[in-house]
Amino acid sequence: MKSNSRNALFVIAVLLGCALLWEALTRLFKVPVFMLPPPSAVLVAMKENPSIFVYHATYTLESTLLGFALAVVLGVVLAVAIVQSRLVERTLYTVLVSLNSVPKVAVAPLFILWLGTGIEPKIAIAAMIAIFAIVIDMVHGLKSVEPEMLDLGRALKGSRLKVLVKIQFPHALPSLFSGMKVAISLALIGAIVGEFVAAKRGLGYLILLSQGQFDTTTMFGAIVILALLGIVLFFIIDALERLALPWHASRRQEGAVAVVP
Amino acid sequence: MSLVGPSGCGKSTFLRCIAGLERISAGVLRVDGRTVSEPPDKLGMVFQRDVLLDWRTVLDNVLLPIEFRDLPRSTHEPRARELLEMIGLAGFEKRYPWELSGGMRQRVAICRALVDDPSLLLMDEPFAALDAFTRDELNLELQNLWLRSPKTVVFVTHNISEAVFLGDRVVVMARRPGRVEAVLDVELPRPRPLAMRDSPEFVAHAARIRALFETLGEFRKSAR
């Protein structure tokens, strides 16, 4: 615990140091605000007009979360199907891996064409980018069950469903969570990509809009909020993991636990 | 019954065949008069690794077979608690596997195998990964459990002393090709105390098995 909070303090100190340096350099060299605004100006802009940022951030958050949820549900279903059948594995896995090698940003305009300019294409793009992390980690988790454990299930004459529900699935949960940690950041990227292509709302749209108006300060405000969103979402998943898998979390920190009385 | 032999002689494979986990290539294998084509009904299994489920408490791990067989949990829970108590794990029901030592974990695995009162218990080198003291303890506890409710146990080991101590009958297996070399009856009274391992009868049994392996050339490289 002690080293944890010290670590957090260190990170904050480094970030503050960077901001101060940035502030000092912009003032010292009199960098024009439309090129690089000082952090103080960004903060002032965010404070003066918070409703704009909230308005756009909630939209981005919504498409991120919905896309992420879609990716988790679909990804888990796909992973289970892949593990259950050799045929599905050989076909689906091949398709997924080849699809994954296509730069997904490149197909984003297609989704706009298919789904219009509402929130649906943003959700779809977020899900598409995030799903691979889920599928790959979940398949790995389901497959890494010890063979003896499966023998045990067979010796008990358990149906495949029982083995899946009682042994494989819980065993794969830690992998699913590590996939989800990657996927949540990817979903945020997907949402922004969707907003870049065509949108009337969202932080991605706000960035494009303020770029057109040379309002670099607002752009930086949106970027700062995006960074914060990414960090907060990641730590929410991390906290959920600790809640859902106490047996796993405590195993990971075996060394650290002993220190706490 | 104990199965003893060097690695690679097919002890574990034979056990897996009895369990219906592996198919036999030729011949007939009958358990309780029935040809084995799938795992027998009343079967308990203990592996070298305890394969406890990390996310389940000790009690829930022991009750896993009950859930797999769709039996009512409530009627079997007292039995599970009783087994845990007999093997010295009373008070640990709500603990998780990662809180237990290796010996305790293997004890839980034994309770799990016994919870549905199997008529056939297969044990595949269950104590091979444990230290000598824990192994002795568990040998005694296994014997106690067996005395309370005798059943057919097939115990695979590569430890001669353990095979003689636990077995009423010791099947000696050899490798290249894997085969049964000899079957010895061990007529020592039960309960057998650990000290019995120093008795002349016990030593004679162990010596016979060792001599068998020696004539088979198992000790060529190291012991001579």
pLDDT digits (tens, 9 = 90+) for A155-177: 888 888 889 999 999 999 999 99
**Average pLDDT over every residue of B185-193:** 84
Helical (H) or strand (E) element with B131: none
**pLDDT over threshold 50, residue B39:** yes
Best of B12, B47, B61 to substitute, by most chain A Cβ atoms within 10 angstroms, is B47
* pLDDT band at residue A72 under the 50/70/90 scheme: very high
Please tell me whether the overall predicted TM-score, pTM, comes out greater than 0.90 for this model. no
Best of B51, B71, B95 to substitute, by most chain A Cβ atoms within 10 angstroms, is B51
Q: How many CB pairs under 8 A join A and B?
A: 61
Tell me, what's the ipTM? 0.80
Chain-chain contact of B45 with A155 (C-beta, under 8 angstroms): yes
> Is the CB of B51 inside 8 Å of chain A's CB atoms?
yes
Q: Residue B2's Cα: distance from chain center in Å?
A: 8
3-state secondary structure chain A: CHHHHHHHHHHHHHHHHHHHHHHHHHHHCCCCCCCCCCHHHHHHHHHHCHHHHHHHHHHHHHHHHHHHHHHHHHHHHHHHHHHHCHHHHHHHHHHHHHHHCCCHHHHHHHHHHHHCCCHHHHHHHHHHHHHHHHHHHHHHHHHCCCHHHHHHHHHCCCCHHHHHHHHHHHHHHHHHHHHHHHHHHHHHHHHHHHHHHCCCCCHHHHHHHHHHCCCHHHHHHHHHHHHHHHHHHHHHHHHHHHHHCHHHHHHHCHHHHCCCC
3-state secondary structure A107-123: HHHHHHHHHCCCHHHHH
- Cross-chain CB nearest to A247 (options B21, B48, B98): B98
Chain-chain contact of B21 with A153 (C-beta, under 8 angstroms): no
For chain B, how long is the longest CA-to-CA vector?
58
Chain A residue with the nearest C-alpha to that of B48? A148
pLDDT digits (tens, 9 = 90+) for A73-89: 999 999 999 998 889 88
> Is the CB of B45 inside 8 Å of chain A's CB atoms?
yes
pLDDT digits (tens, 9 = 90+) for B136-152: 989 999 998 898 888 89
